[in-house]
Amino acid sequence: MALLTPEDLEDLLNKLRQSNETIKASTGKGITEICEDVYGTRPASQKVAIVPITAGNGVIGNFSSSLLAITEYFGLEGYITEHPDITGYHQAVSDGADILLMADDHMFIAHNLKSRKIAANHICTGVIYSEIASRFIHAGSKDVLVIGLGRVGYAGTEHLVKKGFNVYAYDPNTEFMEKAIEELGVNAYDSADPKKFSMVFEATPNANTISEGMIAERCLVSTPGIPCALPPELAENGDIDLVMEPLVIGAAAMLYSVF
Ligand code: NAD
Ligand code: 2YG
Ligand code: MG
């Protein structure tokens, strides 16, 4: 699994502001309103504790401080525990924190200790990025293209299918494709039989997974994937709206899902 780097997290709130402008222009609503719509919740002065975790590849520079900035951006009080791991967990619970945020190399969770709600980043990221793609105001149909059916992509696909969208999906992993066709009823996207989409949800760890033949002239590409799915020559096209941000949008969805 590709892990975030401290460089990915530099200038994060500026990246969020840019993404939010694109989200507003292409869907009519900003990230806060979309989270409220999806989860039916609002912040209510919860206290958020961020527990750094040293397991596996260890603490990522800027990760905890970024989560603190996100917490404060959504109007909540937060802090990073003095110690990592179990000692930090003990401190957070003893302090009366409402919500814990913490991640190892495989899972990034938000846990509301009062309501017992728990959220996983890969699910919330899939839900919120696919939701953003599905709200494109210039879309002429309910067809959405999904690229990548891994942990994030599958969750987003399930969300789109539940919402009644007509999903076309592509993943080179034939097992994932078969599962999505059998369990979710998606259509297989076939590059030999090209079709152009105005709504694209991309969730792969690879660059340049989107080609010109897949996208309509006016389209919205919503992708949590790092690096960028759009080849540079397409990304420069002013008619393609691109929502791509390394942490905040997914983390915001996690918070709203446990409020
Ligand atoms: P994953 O490994 O579970 O799934 C990735 C999937 O992409 C795999 O099924 C793989 O076969 C598929 N894939 C690879 N190349 C492809 C291609 N050219 N076309 C179609 N499918 C292709 O990964 P994941 O956990 O689902 O994460 C996906 C990406 O999202 C990663 O880059 C991860 O770092 C990123 N991510 C970002 C955020 C965020 O907040 N921005 C949050 C979580 C994950
Ligand atoms: O506490 C820390 O600093 C570390 N243990 C955090 C580790 C996070 C690892 N996860 C990732 O890098 C991502 N694949 C998941 C985070 C979602 C945002 N892209
Ligand atoms: Mg994100």
Which residues lie near ion ligand 3 (Cβ < 5 Å)? Answer: 224, 249-250
Read off the pLDDT of residues 27-69 as tens digits, 9 standing for 90 and up: 999 999 999 999 999 999 999 999 999 999 999 999 999 999 9
* Contact between residue 148 and residue 225 where contact means Cβ atoms under 8 Å apart: yes
Q: What is the pLDDT of residue 91?
A: 98
Confirm or reject: Cβ of 121 under 6 Å from ligand 2: yes
Joined together, the tokens standing for residue 243 give 């929502």
> By alpha-carbon position, which residue is closest to atom 43 of ligand 1?
122
Regarding whether 150 and 40 lie in a shared domain, the answer is: no
Are 94 and 133 found together in one domain? no
* Residues 144 and 99 placed together within one structural domain of the fold: no
Atom nearest to 4 CA in ligand 1: 34
Residue nearest ligand 2's atom 6 by CA:
103
Q: What percent of the chain has pLDDT over 70?
A: 100
DSSP 214: G
Does position 198 have pLDDT exceeding 80, yes or no? Answer: yes
Look up the domain containing 40 and give its range: 12-121+250-258
Distance of CA 72 to the CA centre of its chain: 19
Tally the C-alpha atoms within 13 A of residue 247's C-alpha that lie toward its C-beta. 27
Do 116 and 160 fall within a single domain?
no
The answer to whether 176 and 154 have CB atoms below 8 angstroms apart is: yes
DSSP H or E run through 248? helix 248-258
- pLDDT one-digit tens code per residue, 207-254: 999 999 999 999 999 999 999 999 999 988 889 999 999 999 999 999
Q: What is the DSSP string of 22-67?
A: HHHHHHSS-HHHHHHHHH-----S-EEEE----STT-PPTTHHHHH
In the chain the first and final C-alpha atoms are separated, in Å, by: 28
Same domain, 113 and 166: no
Please report whether residue 254 resides in a domain: yes
The pLDDT of residue 238? 84
Structural domains of the chain, count = 2
- The CATH number linked to 173 is 3.40.50.720
Which residue in 122, 88, 95 sits closest to 106, CA to CA? 122
- Residues 6 or more apart whose CB falls under 8 angstroms from that of 144 comprise 130, 133, 134, 160, 165, 166, 167, 168, 197, 199, 200, 201
**Which atom of ligand 1 is the closest one to the Cα of 250?**
40
